[in-house]
Structure 1
């Protein structure tokens, strides 16, 4: 590990592999592994990642959780910050490893996150506030597994008139650390206190995580350290990260039947939320399925890894279907995917400014005029097509394009974006952030914006903000949090918005650039459930930002 402030240099080769005998699917892999290799850095290290594209399609990598202050063109969002890396080409990403914590990287183009382009990214802080509680750590990266390719099969079916109900592709399996057709054994290596970094890299699923007979002491949500908060299980939505430690001295083996010897291993459980799926997964065979047999015919919503207490990879002695919980605890059964009860570790330094602006985003999903199910925010479905309409000056409106990224437009014509200034509305006494009618919102640099996400869809949606994290003020599942935790809200970069409910977040737009804000369910993002936040175009240039060669080389 390099010292703080050093360079971390890596080469990522993006190519296809077919890693499993139990599935014919060729996946998109980094350095021929799935998930991709662990990327580690210390806080404020400079990461220099050379990405070589050996695919037959364009690609890009988004560094999820990285703020990219001063390097907005390194965010990896096609159409917003860069053009995609063409086949047989390469790009070098260079950015600061900040903020510290559990981040990850993934594809942000052509559904490649579904097809395997994922990997863990751990940024070690200068001071780890909860390090006294554990002796070793393990990473568990959970994802959906699909036997069919997203790019060629799943997306084309989902976004077609054959699927007007908007039924999302149902996973064929759950995969953890690249294993779905064989057991994943997790070694304790004689440690008694173990930190688990849980990363939900799923395209769709939300999971409940638990470990039989053990309490989970949560110490981090996304990249925010929190005071240890004890639960028996927790829910983690797509793109969220949660760290927790377990103390094997707390193991309660009372669930082991008297007629079997004490167990030398216990199950780690990832249970998919069946309520998310719009169909009965016990009998549903999707119409797009091309290679189901001899693969799993029906999706098993429970994945079992095995924590080997003696590192001998023995199987647990108790039944798989036995209901297991931790010891008695007042917070058992908490199903809040945002973990609003968890308090930030640095609470005294967590100064939360009052809001200066307001934005309401209404979330809906319904068929368009072509009978294709689309996602809408304030009645706008986000599209990468460049419009030919013009603003008052006669110049093209600012629209996301695979050929002219938003960031390039900001740096060349910062005063010609065609987005109205904030105005006062009846919804709030604060000035309301306005849109150009195409899903682009212009934020004054340094604004403190309360964003209310009103979800009129029945499904829960995990929304991710590029370039910024935010305080979660409250949700319809926990409305009292706004008053209960005033001055001590928890920061995340993914907020889970309850189905037919709402969430309120507070975001400080102090990072000039073009940043996507979208549902992290891959199917919904591709259906247009996304917006772009244009932050401080003039400040971007004042900071000395200039267009890099990315646009000239790839666009």
Structure 2
């Protein structure tokens, strides 16, 4: 994340946030972008300037987070309400202006009032002038997979989830899976005559983790989140919420034995997204959610297998072989390693550009769930949760057990009243030989500028949690499911922006705090973030002031 000096083009786009009802059997309004779900793909080259006007036509406030963009020098463009900005009011608008950096498969989504789970998502592709592994493919396709809920998340589902009536803290279970806005067996992906195709997979689900495979084809992984990697061949892989995986396929590598000899030659094959049923807290084959609105048919049970069709010609025909027969064949092959969700076995494409510095500071984060004083099940990070109907992280004098909303985002406080933040500096403790990053008790951690922080995420919950850091990427050093990675891959760790922390296990990551601002760190499962698994790093407030950074007039107006 060094300073960027190369100037590129200016790419302007307008995004209108409004509701649509695209599926006639459903009565659910989707939060759409330019009246599409998912929203339109935004594309630029690395170091271009993106100027994106967001117009809010919803009845509620909104905001947009540009997931994977570091926002170097533009921390107020990150879109995190309470940390970097106030929300865009109904009938209001905001223009986001930022550098397209780093390159890779990014995406954008709502970061307010659970609008992400209701459809406010879209791809954001930042291209390199020369793509690593570019010689391996001739064309590309983007597949955005997400959960579908029959009920509105931002009102009905979230209020039920965080209520006393939900005595077991059960997350809302999706009713279906959608890819590029289409339900199973309705999405046809055309090859358009190409035999070597790159796929960019974006997991934009609010909850689910998936196993991805394509019948009869090896998948050659070439990018994790936005980090190019040396081609790594698998038959399938797992992808958690907010993770992105790019791979290419070569149709000449199709296993002809995959299609039984007693059926006609197939002109298409299945692309499979299989939801991980172990992460759901109930039996999805029979559970009727207590909040469910009766629809026809009713009840609706989640089918964990989603099928898209890769059309090998222009006929858009279904595969000739049975779906279950193909699944049986897959199970006998080198199937996915359940313990390699982070795919730590891949290697960075450029070793010289991936120098891993030694740690200078340490922070241990303990992840727990328990009932709060109101008898509501919440998530806690180091015994701190947040309690806010606005999902804010503003600094305010409150109980040490919660983080609440305020009218002044953390970033604005860093540049207007930095001495009043009240964040303690790192100290030496028995916890680590390195100085330990300290919290103010409200979920804010002051990180010295240029510090190299080792974070150990200790998961006391039995479920897996994907954690995302805004404004930075980080190196994954090791996990409880792959502890040998620390030594095996020393000096060549992968550097994503999402880490999947094993259930009842741990993950160790390292990040370089060279980007001043207020950056949130949270579980990317939407329900868990709202339950309290979120805090903020305050990085280098003195550096912001030294560089003359100030809040824009537009930002100030939003907070009035």
User: Alignment partner for residue 519 of structure 2, among 512, 515, 519?
Assistant: 515
Q: Does 1:354 align with 2:358?
A: yes
In the other structure, the counterpart of 1:168 is 171
Cα distance in 2 for partners of 1:362, 1:346 equals 33
User: Alignment partner for residue 490 of structure 1, among 473, 484, 494?
Assistant: 494
Cα distance in 2 for partners of 1:74, 1:308 equals 40
In the other structure, the counterpart of 1:72 is 75
Q: CA RMSD in A?
A: 2.1
Q: Does 1:124 align with 2:132?
A: no
Shift of 1:332: 5.7
In the other structure, the counterpart of 2:302 is 299
Cα distance in 1 for partners of 2:28, 2:496 equals 34
Deviates more, 1:366-375 or 1:54-63: 366-375
User: Alignment partner for residue 443 of structure 2, among 439, 443, 448?
Assistant: 439
Shift of 1:310: 1.4
Q: Does 1:21 align with 2:24?
A: yes
**Alpha-carbon distance change, 387 to 43 in structure 1, aligned in 2, over 3 angstroms:** closer
Cα distance in 2 for partners of 1:339, 1:149 equals 34
Superposed CA offset, 1:112-158 (max 9, x none): 00000000000001220110000100000000000100111000000
Cα distance in 1 for partners of 2:554, 2:94 equals 8
Cα distance in 1 for partners of 2:445, 2:26 equals 43
Cα distance in 2 for partners of 1:388, 1:374 equals 20
Q: Which secondary structure state, in structure 1, belongs to the residue aligned with residue 154 of structure 2?
A: helix
In the other structure, the counterpart of 1:103 is 106
Superposed CA offset, 1:173-218 (max 9, x none): 0000000165100001110110000000000000000000000000
In the other structure, the counterpart of 1:389 is 397
Unaligned runs of 5+ in 1: none
Cα distance in 1 for partners of 2:246, 2:443 equals 34
Q: Does 1:374 align with 2:378?
A: yes
Q: Does 1:547 align with 2:555?
A: no
In the other structure, the counterpart of 1:259 is 262
Q: Which secondary structure state, in structure 2, belongs to the residue aligned with residue 29 of structure 1?
A: strand
Unaligned runs of 5+ in 2: 1-5
Q: Is the 1:83–1:550 Cα contact (8 Å) retained in structure 2?
A: no
Q: Which secondary structure state, in structure 2, belongs to the residue aligned with residue 376 of structure 1?
A: strand
Q: Which secondary structure state, in structure 2, belongs to the residue aligned with residue 254 of structure 1?
A: helix
Q: Is the 2:414–2:541 Cα contact (8 Å) retained in structure 1?
A: yes
Give the TM-score, by structure 2 length.
0.95
Q: Which secondary structure state, in structure 1, belongs to the residue aligned with residue 504 of structure 2?
A: coil
Q: Is the 1:165–1:367 Cα contact (8 Å) retained in structure 2?
A: no
Count of aligned residue pairs for this structure pair: 549
**Alpha-carbon distance change, 511 to 387 in structure 1, aligned in 2, over 3 angstroms:** closer
Shift of 1:399: 6.5
Q: Which secondary structure state, in structure 2, belongs to the residue aligned with residue 348 of structure 1?
A: coil
In the other structure, the counterpart of 1:424 is 428
Cα distance in 2 for partners of 1:545, 1:554 equals 18
Q: Which secondary structure state, in structure 2, belongs to the residue aligned with residue 282 of structure 1?
A: coil
Q: Is the 2:395–2:442 Cα contact (8 Å) retained in structure 1?
A: no
Q: Does 1:338 align with 2:342?
A: yes
Cα distance in 2 for partners of 1:460, 1:148 equals 25
**Alpha-carbon distance change, 133 to 18 in structure 1, aligned in 2, over 3 angstroms:** same
Q: Is the 1:423–1:432 Cα contact (8 Å) retained in structure 2?
A: yes
Cα distance in 2 for partners of 1:335, 1:146 equals 28
Superposed CA offset, 1:93-116 (max 9, x none): 000000000000000000000000
Q: Is the 2:89–2:558 Cα contact (8 Å) retained in structure 1?
A: yes
Cα distance in 2 for partners of 1:241, 1:310 equals 27
Cα distance in 1 for partners of 2:412, 2:48 equals 27
Q: Does 1:243 align with 2:246?
A: yes
Cα distance in 2 for partners of 1:153, 1:93 equals 30
Shift of 1:294: 2.4
Cα distance in 2 for partners of 1:333, 1:501 equals 17
Shift of 1:256: 1.6
User: Alignment partner for residue 412 of structure 1, among 380, 393, 416?
Assistant: 416
In the other structure, the counterpart of 2:3 is none
Give the TM-score, by structure 1 length.
0.96
